[in-house]
Structure 1
Amino acid sequence: MINSLWISKTGMEAQQMQLDTISNNLANVSTTGFKRSNVAFEDLMYQNLRQVGSATSEQSQLPTGLQLGTGVRVVGTARQFTQGNVQQSSNNLDVAIQGNGFFQVTMPDGTMGYTRDGSFKINAQGQVVTNNGFAVANGITVPTNAENLVISADGNVTASIKENGKMVDRQIGTIALASFINPAGLEPRGQNIYIETAASGQPNTGTPGLNGMGSLMQGYLETSNVNVVQELVTMIQTQRAYEMNSKAIQTSDQMLQKLGQL
């Protein structure tokens, strides 16, 4: 009887964490480049009261055992790095990745961060940076007299500069992408930034459009890959599972009351 109380408790805690994850997905439905997470569950250890296959006589064995479970727990959250929708914008500094790969940005401590958010800006020094001021790797600096900026599908960045009364196209930098053998192993740090971990493996950098890397699309942004309908359906399932676990606690309590009345 007491076991059922603790088992149901673990079920309610696990479903609460599932709901927290769904809430975070829905909260970021409009976040550029956001990748949804899903929760992975596993059952807890079992009380082995009767060993399966043990001998019941010299000629026979138990075909089944007697194991009592002790509940469930959340073992991890996995991100789904599927492609989000690509929407056109009116900013020529907006860049979307069509396919595999991450933009590389330099963090304040000098380490490298990775993001799918290509809504870039220009800071006071003319550097191409993220919305939080992190410089895009390779140090792209836009000249003050540049009148047009073009980012090609393979990452070449060119600017139209007026020289001797004529407009001349000059290459001012390149945007390289990075890929990981296990992107789900990246650690999210907020601000649309991921960092490398031992689980993700080391980054493989390369030119967009080559060797499995996605191509770049200037004037577009990748939206969140959260499917609102799917999240709402999962939320209903989570709510029902939570209610069933709470009902099991109520039933156990009622049975204990009956025992107390004897």
Structure 2
Amino acid sequence: MIRALYTAASGMTAQQLNLDNIANNLANSSTTGFQQRRLQFSDLLYQNAVMPGSAATQQTTNASGLQVGLGVRPTTTETMQTQGDFNTTGNPLDLAISGGGFFQILLPNGQTGYTRAGSFHTDAQGNMVTGDGNPLQPAVTIPPDATTVTIGSDGTVSVVQPGQTQSTQVGSIQLALFVNPGGLNSVGNNIYLATTASGDPVIGNPGGAEGLGTLQQGMLEQSNVSVVDEFVQMIVAQRSYESNSRVVKAADEMLQQLNQLSQ
């Protein structure tokens, strides 16, 4: 019964963390480029009263054994790499990636961050930057007198300036692709950092042979969170937490009866 208390408590702790993860998904259901996370669990150690395969007699072995588990623990949060819906904004510097890949962002500490959020602006020098002012890499500078900005599906950035009839290429946007994007480290502000688990980025032009997606100008990728699915998962987590709390209560009542017998 003491074991049941701790086993059920591990289930309650796991479901509390699961609910925290669901809350984060729901809070970011309107965040541009946000990718849903799903919590993964694994069972804990087992106490073996009878080891499976141990000798029952000289001629037979135990087919299944007698094992009692000690609970559950959260192991990882899996990032769901599904494509979010596109929202048309009409802003020429808003970009959505159709397919795989991440935009490359130069962070203040000199590191390269990666993001699916393609809401860009221009700073005082005309450089394309994020809402936090972090520049896009490789750098793309838009002339201040540009009347039209066109970004092709292959990342080519062209502008038309006053007095010109032909567009002029001013830069090219490249994307980064990872063998294991689920291994990226989330640091907030829609930014991921590469890790040894994600592997080194493969850099290339959108739509290239590396499997990179294409760019869609004037659009933003919305969060891939399904609010309906998250509410269902919230109910499941709540019921699981409630079931484990009832196990704690039942074990406590059984211990209370034992104490009364000893009096």
Q: TM-score range with shorter-chain normalisation?
A: over 0.9
Note the 1:224-239 alignment, pairs <5 A: 224-239=223-238
User: Aligned residue for 1:176?
Assistant: 174
Residues 162-211 of structure 1: CA distance to partner in whole angstroms, max 9, x if unpaired?
Answer: 2xx44442111110011001100001110000010000011001111122
Q: Secondary structure in 2 aligned to 1:208?
A: coil
User: Aligned residue for 2:250?
Assistant: 251
Residues 202-241 of structure 1: CA distance to partner in whole angstroms, max 9, x if unpaired?
Answer: 1001111122111101000000000111111111110000
Q: Secondary structure in 1 aligned to 2:232?
A: helix
User: Aligned residue for 1:23?
Assistant: 23
CA distance in 1 between counterparts of 2:129 and 2:217 reads 15
Q: Where does structure 1 differ by over 3 angstroms across 4 or more consecutive aligned residues?
A: 165-168
User: Aligned residue for 1:8?
Assistant: 8
CA distance in 1 between counterparts of 2:138 and 2:53 reads 64
Note the 1:21-170 alignment, pairs <5 A: 21-162=21-162, 165-170=163-168
Relative to structure 1, the CA distance from residue 257 to residue 167 in structure 2 (aligned partners, 3 Å threshold; closer, same or farther) is same
Task: Using the TM superposition, give the Cα deviation of residue 244 of structure 1 relative to its aligned residue in structure 2, in angstroms.
Answer: 0.2
CA distance in 2 between counterparts of 1:121 and 1:166 reads 24
Q: Secondary structure in 1 aligned to 2:167?
A: strand
Residues 33-78 of structure 1: CA distance to partner in whole angstroms, max 9, x if unpaired?
Answer: 0000001100001111211222222222222211111110001101
CA distance in 1 between counterparts of 2:175 and 2:2 reads 55
Asked whether 1:194 is paired with 2:192, we answer: yes
Q: Secondary structure in 2 aligned to 1:146?
A: coil
Asked whether 1:207 is paired with 2:205, we answer: yes
Residues 122-142 of structure 1: CA distance to partner in whole angstroms, max 9, x if unpaired?
Answer: 111211001111100011111
CA distance in 2 between counterparts of 1:91 and 1:216 reads 14
Unaligned runs of 5+ residues in structure 2 are none
Q: Secondary structure in 1 aligned to 2:67?
A: strand
Task: Using the TM superposition, give the Cα deviation of residue 22 of structure 1 relative to its aligned residue in structure 2, in angstroms.
Answer: 0.5
Residues 130-158 of structure 1: CA distance to partner in whole angstroms, max 9, x if unpaired?
Answer: 11111000111111211111111100001
Unaligned runs of 5+ residues in structure 1 are none
Q: Secondary structure in 1 aligned to 2:31?
A: coil
How many residue pairs align between the two structures? Answer: 260
C-alpha RMSD of the superposition = 1.0
The one-letter code matched in structure 1 to 2:184 is L
Q: Secondary structure in 1 aligned to 2:255?
A: helix
